[in-house]
């Protein structure tokens, strides 16, 4: 346990090396998230993302530079949306929901893998090693990205999941006013509404995952 405490206190991003490590962790989290959106859509019959080269682990195919900066500085952010055409799906509403869920689920799985690797390397390399800091940062950022995207406000993934649960009439209304969701989201973020709830969710999931892999 003391290894993890040392590691947490070692996460000081004052040096260029540590900033580069954080940037690498951000790119991994965003790339996995968006690639899994594309994979889910393709598996469900939509080739749109594949045709636009989004079925790729190359970060350059997914980066939105403002979203990348926000994720590095504020702990939440976004990448370029994966293009999805619901008309390719046999069941458009459920297809959109499954495609949307693939992103956050992939982030939670990535966090579990990073923490499992951290459990192995902590006793070997110690808490101050750059690799262990990278793994911890990947886990924390990935959980944060997954939780943030589950908020049921457009254009976040949670809104697509919510849409699948709504009757057709309400679903059409949600799509009609989807473009206003980003304004609502920014307003909530600026005034800090829900911040404590989201932080609590991230901490709880992080604690659960640490227990699952045996870090505690």
Look at phi and psi of residue 214 and say left if phi exceeds 0, alpha if psi is from -120 to 50, else beta: left
Residue 171 reports pLDDT greater than 90: no
Could you tell me if residue 167 is left (phi over 0), alpha (psi between -120 and 50 degrees) or otherwise beta? beta
- Cα separation, 164 vs 59, whole angstroms: 30
pTM across the whole model: 0.86
Give the phi and the psi of residue 183 in degrees, each rounded to 5.
Answer: -70, -40
What is the mean pLDDT of the segment spanning 169-186? 79
Mean pLDDT over each residue of the chain, to the nearest integer: 87
Q: Tens of pLDDT along 13-30?
A: 556 677 788 888 989 999
More confident residue, 45 or 166: 45
- What share of the chain in percent tops pLDDT 70? 90
The neighbour count for residue 97, using CB atoms within 10 Å, is 20
- pLDDT over 80 at 53, yes or no: yes
> Comparing 18 with 114, which gets the higher pLDDT?
114
Domain ranges of the chain: 2-213
Give catalytic status of residue 34 as yes or no: yes
Per-residue pLDDT tens digits for 118-151: 999 998 887 778 889 899 999 999 999 999 999 9
- Catalytically annotated residue among 34, 137, 178, 196: 34
pLDDT value, residue 28 = 93
């Amino acid at each position: 346990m003391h290894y993890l405490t040392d590691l947490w206190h070692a996460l000081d991003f004052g040096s260029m090396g540590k900033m580069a490590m954080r940037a690498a962790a951000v790119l991994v989290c965003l790339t996995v998230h968006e690639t899994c959106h594309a994979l889910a859509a393709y598996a469900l019959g939509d080739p749109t993302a594949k045709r636009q080269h989004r079925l790729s682990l190359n970060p350059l195919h997914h980066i939105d530079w403002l979203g990348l900066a926000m994720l590095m500085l504020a702990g939440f952010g976004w990448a370029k949306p994966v293009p999805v055409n619901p008309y390719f799906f046999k069941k458009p509403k459920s297809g959109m929901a499954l495609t949307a869920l693939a992103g956050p689920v992939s982030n939670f799985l990535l966090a579990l893998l990073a923490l499992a690797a951290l459990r192995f390397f902590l006793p070997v390399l110690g808490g101050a090693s750059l690799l262990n800091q990278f793994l911890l940062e990947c886990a924390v950022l990935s959980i944060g990205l997954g939780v943030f995207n589950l908020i049921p406000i457009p254009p976040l993934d949670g809104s697509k999941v919510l849409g699948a649960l709504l009757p057709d009439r309400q679903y059409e209304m949600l799509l009609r006013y989807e473009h206003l969701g980003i304004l609502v989201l920014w307003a909530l973020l600026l005034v800090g509404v829900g911040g404590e709830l989201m932080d609590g969710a991230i901490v709880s999931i992080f604690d659960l995952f640490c227990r699952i892999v045996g870090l505690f």
